[in-house]
Amino acid sequence: MNVDEIVAENRRRNEERDAPYHPDTGEGAAVGPRVCMHLPDAPIPLQYIPEEMLAEVEMVRRLRACGSMSAFIARELGEPESDALREEVWRRWVKVRIRYDFEFWAVMFARIKDKMGDGDIPFRLNRPQRRLLVSLETMRRNRQPIRLILLKARQWGGSTLVQLYMAWIQLVHRRSWHSVICAHLKDAAANIRGMYTKLLAGYPAWLMPDGVEPRFRPYERMVNTSVIDGVESRVTISSAETPESVRGSDAVMAHLSEVAFWPATRQKSPESLIRSVCGSVALLPLSLVVLESTANGTGNYFHRECERAKRGESDKQFVFVPWYEIEIYTAPIDDAAAFVASLDEYEHSLWLRGATLEAIAWYRLKRREYSDHADMMAEYPSDDVEAFNHSGDRVFDIRRVQELRADCRKPDYVGEVCGDALSGREALQGLHFVDDATGRLQVWALPDTDDTVADRYVAVVDIGGRSAKADYSVIVVFDRYWQMYGGVPEVVAQWRGHIDHDLLAWKAAGIAAYYHNALLVIESNTLETEHTDGEHTEYILDTLSDAYTRLYARASAENIRSTAPSRWGFHMNRATKTLIINHQVQMLRERGYIERDELACYEHDVFERKPNGTFGAMEGHHDDILITRCIGTYICYTEPLPRIIAERRTIAHDRFARVSEASM
């Protein structure tokens, strides 16, 4: 776009942003479609009501046909017109409309603290809140259980909307519809419920069943649970510090706030806390579970759940609102054309995402307060990637990791590669893939049936522990076929689990042999430093090398001088680890390989440089899959390229040849 086109588009964006929004009349309402309703003698003469309200309610259709409240009273009720009767008709109209129109209910009957002043104001939804409401209302109107995960940026009132939306369901739609509010701290949960208390204090009794004054009263002498008079719905507050207090609460709605800050300890994890809170929430229309939080680094439970929701693997819809959609973040521009000409690369990217020039002008001014732009992006994220700012010294650029995720998908097959035995030479005989949903091997591509490419596959092994709480052992297979034509290697299979080290070595050899005798690269540190079953386990690789000839070996300087045999495996020390990690940084920057496993991306996210200069996963996380990628991509680019051959002689071919010769 040229400058004139950008200025014209900016004008359009501002007009859209400043479009009239009057939730009392329904003009500009977020949730639609709407139809016009003109009642000249009503307190609100011109209204735009939800379309289904007209379709489903007989009173609405008759009022519209009459054209006024006075005509409705005369024709439909057959009563003399009076102020009391007009008031009664209006109240019945309001009771109908609030069932269909949350925005109307909120501005008419809910009051919140004015963040720009000292008093309370009607709850008129801002633009981010309206976007969130569309997600909530779409699920409700489709009679789906309402499930949502909200990544918040700054304070635009996401928690306020969620809480008042739950109140609307309890006060307008359901009786005995219990809710739970759980935050990271008990005081935070109490503050959220305080909004509910304020709502009830000003809520008119005539909207309640039997005209009961809506108030909280204690429930069964429980300190953390109250009941709303008139609808008998309970509201329980809790915190991640004391989640046991909500067990057995019979809740059908749960608002879980600042989940990214919920503690993870040996005794309890955020996952277990959320199970405690949400275990009773049934899959019913108007049931609700909302997880919301500002970001708190990558790799934690909230970050993983956001990523799952974005991939469509979760029961929850993901919602994020960027800073430039918040109305207050704008600054005036004197010369739009000159401002456009001055945009830097990042500011231009903001324009392409949908920000107005006035919003970008505000961002430029605000950015001067920060010495590091990364800190600014964390405080005012333009997308969910920026929001998850890493609190430590992360190794891999978060945007590059996000790009890596683009090719991730579920495996085509799950099972195991099996031979005639679990160990020994027979483990490499009769190899075949067994489809088994409980298997540890994920397969994105089986070995190509065309056996005319030498050195096509590379298999890499990172050795973990044997117990369920230890690090995992990982075997990954790379396909290098397209490297012959200037392409990149891709992950085609991965095994991950806990197993004895000797069995792991034979399993890895079996998988490698299955993939056309792949070059088998075993990270050998563990085998060189541990003892298993009373034997020095370096012996495992010596034994394996007698049966599997495509085993990767390294040559040390001492070995070269003494002409001693090479040592098997890839040895990880401070120098080689730095080498392969730097190479992996390059791989992500240059899109040097194709990843398939989302968990590998997650491990890139939580990998950091420690204060002492070493590398490793954040505390409580793993890097076993990542290490196989670092070794594997390094090997793929340092070993000779695959090549086309006329005939490929494999173990199976050699065996067939010997049998054929013996029969002659």
Show the domains of the chain with their CATH numbers: 32-100 (no CATH), 125-321 (3.40.50.300), 327-391 (no CATH), 446-644 (3.30.420.240)
As separate numbers, helices (DSSP H) first and strands (DSSP E) second, the chain gives 25, 28
Amino acid 411: pLDDT: 96
DSSP assignment of 343-368: --HHHHHHHHHT--HHHHHHHHHHHT
User: 102, 100, 107: which is closest to 44 by C-alpha?
Assistant: 107
Break the chain down into helix, strand, coil percent, rounded to 5: 45, 20, 35
> Contact 545/569 with Cβ under 8 angstroms?
no
Q: CB under 8 Å to 544, separation ≥6 — which residues? A: 505, 506, 509, 551, 568
- Which residue's structure tokens are 């890139």? 604
Amino acid 535: pLDDT: 44
Three-state SS for 488-537 is CCEEEEEEEECCCHHHHHHHHHHHHHHCCCCEEEEECHHHHHCEECCEEC
- Which residue's structure tokens are 């098997």? 568
Strands 615-617 and 643-644, by their bridges, are unpaired
Amino acid 605: pLDDT: 84
Distance between CA atoms of residues 221 and 507, nearest Å:
61
Distance between CA atoms of residues 356 and 351, nearest Å:
7
User: 461, 656, 632: which is closest to 544 by C-alpha?
Assistant: 461
Amino acid 561: pLDDT: 40
The HSE-up count of residue 391 (CA atoms within 13 Å, CB side) is 11
User: 521, 437, 449: which is closest to 478 by C-alpha?
Assistant: 521
DSSP 228: E
Neighbours of 613 (CB within 10 A): 8
Separation of CA 612 from chain center: 31
> Virtual CA dihedral for 320, 303, 373, 17, nearest 10 degrees?
0
DSSP 564: P
Amino acid 191: pLDDT: 78
Cis peptide before 145 (omega within 30 of 0): no
DSSP 565: P
Q: Please report which helix (H) or strand (E) contains residue 304, including its range.
A: helix 301-310
Amino acid 70: pLDDT: 94
Tokens matching residue 112: 């919140």
> Contact 427/417 with Cβ under 8 angstroms?
no
> Virtual CA dihedral for 116, 118, 120, 125, nearest 10 degrees?
10
The HSE-up count of residue 510 (CA atoms within 13 Å, CB side) is 27
Amino acid 566: pLDDT: 60
Q: Please report which helix (H) or strand (E) contains residue 301, including its range.
A: helix 301-310
Q: CB under 8 Å to 70, separation ≥6 — which residues? A: 41, 81, 86
Low-confidence ranges of the chain (pLDDT < 70): 116-117, 242-249, 265-267, 389-392, 526-538, 555-566, 620, 646-664
Where do the H-state alpha helices sit in 58-201? 58-66, 69-72, 83-100, 102-109, 127-141, 158-168, 186-201
Amino acid 57: pLDDT: 95
> Contact 217/229 with Cβ under 8 angstroms?
yes
Distance between CA atoms of residues 53 and 104, nearest Å:
13
> Contact 457/447 with Cβ under 8 angstroms?
yes
Cα–Cα–Cα angle for 435, 439, 441, rounded to 5 degrees: 90
Distance between CA atoms of residues 320 and 499, nearest Å:
41
Distance between CA atoms of residues 457 and 491, nearest Å:
10
pTM: 0.73
Question: How far apart, in Å, are the Cα atoms of 323 and each of 70, 132, 362?
Answer: 48, 14, 11
Distance between CA atoms of residues 136 and 144, nearest Å:
10
How does pLDDT run across 36-83, given as a tens digit for each residue?
A: 999 999 999 999 999 999 999 999 999 999 999 999 999 999 888 899
Amino acid 297: pLDDT: 76
Strands 222-228 and 146-152, by their bridges, are unpaired
Sheet-wide strand order for 441-443: 432-435, 413-418, 441-443, 490-497, 473-479, 457-462, 519-522
Amino acid 415: pLDDT: 97
**Average pLDDT of the residues of the chain:** 87
DSSP 472: P
Distance between CA atoms of residues 366 and 178, nearest Å:
43
Amino acid 580: pLDDT: 95
How does pLDDT run across 543-599, given as a tens digit for each residue?
A: 898 899 999 987 643 443 444 446 788 988 888 999 999 999 999 999 999 999 999
